[in-house]
Amino acid sequence: MSQQLKALLLCVMAGLAAALGGLAVDGFAAPERFLYDQRQRAHRADLVAPDQLVLVMIDEHTLAALRADLGRFPWPRHIYADVLDFIALGEPRAVVFDILFSEPEAVDGQGAVNDQRFAEASSALPAAHAARVATTGGEGKSEFDTSAFEIGRANADPGESALLVPPIDPLARSARAIGFVDLTPDSDGVVRRTPLHRPFSGSVLPSLGIAALRAAGWSDWTVRPDGLAAASGLVIPASSDGSYDVGFYGRFNELSFSALVAGAKKIHEGDVENLLVHPDEFRDKIVFIGASAAGLDDLKANPLSPAAPGVRIHASVAGNVLDNTFLRRPARWWVGVHSVVVSCLIGAATLLGARLVWQIALPVGVLALFVLAGFEVFAHGWIVEMSAPLVAGLVSWLSGLGYVNVVQGKDRRKVRRLLAQYVSPSVLSAVVDKYEDVIRAEVGTRENVTVLFSDVRSFTSMSENLQAEQVVDLLNVHFGVMTEIIFRYDGTLDKFIGDAIMAFWGAPLRIDDHAERAVRAALDMARGIETVNATLKVRGLPQIRIGIGLNSGEVVLGNIGSERKLDYTVIGDNVNLASRMEGLTGKYGCTVLLSEATYLAVAAKVPSALIDRVRVKGKHQPIGIYVPLELLEGTVDRAQWEQVRANMDEAFQHYCARRWEAAMTAYGKVPFPGVAELFVKRCKGYMDAPPSADWNGVTTLDSK
């Protein structure tokens, strides 16, 4: 057996051992959930729920609109009866309440009347109501006649003594179906699966999504080991305990509950012409009524949203059945097959690659193809476990690299030579032990960093009046001071571009506070110009001023160039935006400007004020630009900075509201002369020639 084949077997065994070990201790739960959520977002975030579904939401607008007439939530239940009467005019297939009505209404002398009125309106429709299955210790019923609502008989009761929290008796008697609304999120608080059925007192009760379908005419269901079967032969795939992977929808046909209340009132008054929602909207539809207002405590995290109305989960179950599109999981042994295949391909690519670039590019390609395949089969309804094969591939890759790169000292020296010109000695020492990350930069990585550009103002015209050696001397003095400041804050010096400096934080040493370090460095650079000018004065050279712009975000990091000359640098839109920020410093007369992304990253630690909202060339979305208030040190007392920020916010609000006189007065209090002069000039111009009707305060910059 050849040495390479032995090495390949070792790589595959190492990868498979890592995958199986992780599966044995459930070590891949978190990354698997992450990858699952990304697949849901990629394929279902823009997916529209079936047209047969309508969601009626008790939203924030509803709470505000009904507060004057009905008071605070919960409301008298006659309002639900009015809404049901209104919906009934459209002849829906079913109306489903994702609201628990487990206690009689407690209104002086009127509660029983309202409950009965609600039950009568419910009985006139195919209605489904919500229940909960609680364990001992909760408030509920240990005995409840479920025969009218069951979808099967249970062989055994749950291990714990269960209590049912059903709707009140009048509603239960009027209901076509009852379904439980209990949802159990994963350990990270996200609901990804939901039970389709649960045993209770010898019966099998459906979830609310299945109960909705029963009310709509899907009356016969059979519980099977592989899922839940309808009379039509359709089978909803689920585990033996009824747990089902929900195919979420990103968009639903949603209406506000308040619109239906208003419609019911207008019809009662005889006005059928000016309805916000016409009852025909509900014809042959399954109507879910739930809550989306934050204060009603029915917001659940799901793969598509951190806080979505819980009713969307039950509606999604019904939608999956109506669409006949389900998510399925292949047999578990496929995880092992995928792990072996991925680790074998990556090990072979690593060991057979003649050059480092192929030893990196080919395994990355294999991993990328596997990820793409996992996403693609998800689009066809299959949930493939991806974490274990990916880990197996990574371990196989690392094992292969360890085999082919016997002399690591060679690579370490290469990295030290490469980075010595870019980073401080402290950063170099921290990075050199992770030299693989820098080597991988030859094929590029995406990193979240903060980029800084600094430029000498009016340098071209200044240099025309200097001898060549004086220009070099001036720049050496300036660059020397600025480089030390950048290194002091562990920044990476990217390059000198004429009289400009480009630096970034967050790579090669990944740090969480890269934005704050970059801003602190920029402020020290602004102060450091005094040291530069003092030295220039001694040497008989002109004084200089600088502008510094910063932006944070994802960039492509890599060793870019040719085989003869490489630059360790960052590229991408966020780099360009940092350059735009530097270009705006002269326009606004501020030494340092922050993009909105950088400001948001440091807002809690670096007091800053909004200057303007602009749309820079090449961008469609406007961004805010901010100035750090520490630039006022020495001119405005630190205790007054908060007032300065309030004054600037007030001035900009007047400006955006077209209150030109008030804006000019407010900008008179702004201690940044360049900003004040610019906006006063703008206000005067707009007073003479008002902006268009769609103007919203955003300034479009046509030049870079």
Q: What is the pLDDT of residues 631-677, one digit of tens each?
A: 998 888 988 999 999 999 999 999 999 999 999 999 999 999 999 99
Q: Hey, what are 224's tokens?
A: 């099977």
Three-point CA angle 309, 56, 263, nearest 5°: 150
Q: What percent of the chain has pLDDT over 90?
A: 55
Beta-carbon contacts of 38 under 8 Å, excluding residues fewer than 6 positions away, are 375
476, 520 Cβ separation under 8 angstroms: no
Q: Hey, what are 4's tokens?
A: 């390479």
pLDDT tens digits for range 495-518: 889 899 999 998 877 889 999 999
Q: Quick one: pLDDT band at residue 1, thresholds 50, 70, 90?
A: very low
Q: Decide: helix, strand or coil at residue 55.
A: strand
Residue 397: the pLDDT is: 78
593, 612 Cβ separation under 8 angstroms: no
Region label for 560, one of left (φ > 0), alpha (ψ between -120 and 50) or beta (otherwise): beta
457, 547 Cβ separation under 8 angstroms: yes
Single-letter amino acid, residue 520:
R
Phi, psi angles (nearest 5°) of residue 190: -100, 135
Radius of gyration over alpha carbons of the chain, in Å?
33
Cα–Cα distance for residue pair 38/73, rounded to 1 Å: 36
Cα–Cα distance for residue pair 290/300, rounded to 1 Å: 12
For residue 407, pLDDT over 50 is answered with no
Beta-carbon contacts of 257 under 8 Å, excluding residues fewer than 6 positions away, are 56, 57, 58, 59, 62, 83, 289
For residue 413, pLDDT over 80 is answered with no
> Pick from 541, 410, 413, 421: which is nearest to 469 by CA?
541
Beta-ladder partners of 423 = 492
Cα–Cα distance for residue pair 431/440, rounded to 1 Å: 13
Helices (H), 353-509: 356-379, 387-404, 408-419, 425-432, 435-440, 459-463, 468-488
Cα–Cα distance for residue pair 536/472, rounded to 1 Å: 12
Residue 408: the pLDDT is: 43
Least confident of 146-150, 152-156, 649-653: 152-156
Q: Hey, what are 522's tokens?
A: 């920029």
Cα–Cα distance for residue pair 560/567, rounded to 1 Å: 5
**What global pTM score does this model have?**
0.57
Q: Report domain extents, the chain.
A: 3-41+329-406, 49-323
pLDDT tens digits for range 359-394: 788 888 888 999 999 999 999 999 999 888 888 888
419, 431 Cβ separation under 8 angstroms: yes
Three-point CA angle 397, 339, 342, nearest 5°: 50
> Pick from 622, 641, 623: which is nearest to 631 by CA?
641
10 Å CB burial of residue 220 (0-12, 13-18, 19+) is exposed
- Please give the residue that has the higher pLDDT: either 241 or 311: 311
Least confident of 51-65, 162-176, 249-263, 525-539: 162-176
Beta-carbon contacts of 299 under 8 Å, excluding residues fewer than 6 positions away, are 292, 307, 308, 309, 310
Helices (H), 589-640: 596-602
Residue 84: the pLDDT is: 95
DSSP symbol at 296: G
C-beta neighbour count of 192 within 10 angstroms: 20
For residues 536, 537, 543 and 548, what is the CA-based torsion angle, rounded to 10 degrees? 50
- Long-range residue pairs from 458-462, CB within 8 A, at least 24 positions apart, any chain: 458/545, 459/498, 459/499, 459/544, 462/542, 462/544
Cα–Cα distance for residue pair 338/333, rounded to 1 Å: 9
16, 337 Cβ separation under 8 angstroms: no
Residue 83: the pLDDT is: 94
Least confident of 76-85, 245-254, 340-349: 340-349
Q: Decide: helix, strand or coil at residue 435.
A: helix
Residue 345: the pLDDT is: 83
For 153-172, what is the mean pLDDT? Answer: 73
Farthest-apart Cα atoms in the chain, separation = 99
Q: How far is CA 618 from the centre of its chain?
A: 24
pLDDT tens digits for range 568-622: 788 999 999 999 999 999 999 999 999 999 999 999 999 999 999 998 877 788 9
Beta-ladder partners of 235 = 229
Residue 537: the pLDDT is: 94
Q: Hey, what are 620's tokens?
A: 């469609």
Q: Where is 649: in which H helix or E strand?
A: helix 641-656
For residues 528, 530, 533 and 539, what is the CA-based torsion angle, rounded to 10 degrees? -90
CA distances in angstroms from 6 to 38, 89, 165, 346, 397, listed in the order given: 37, 76, 63, 15, 15
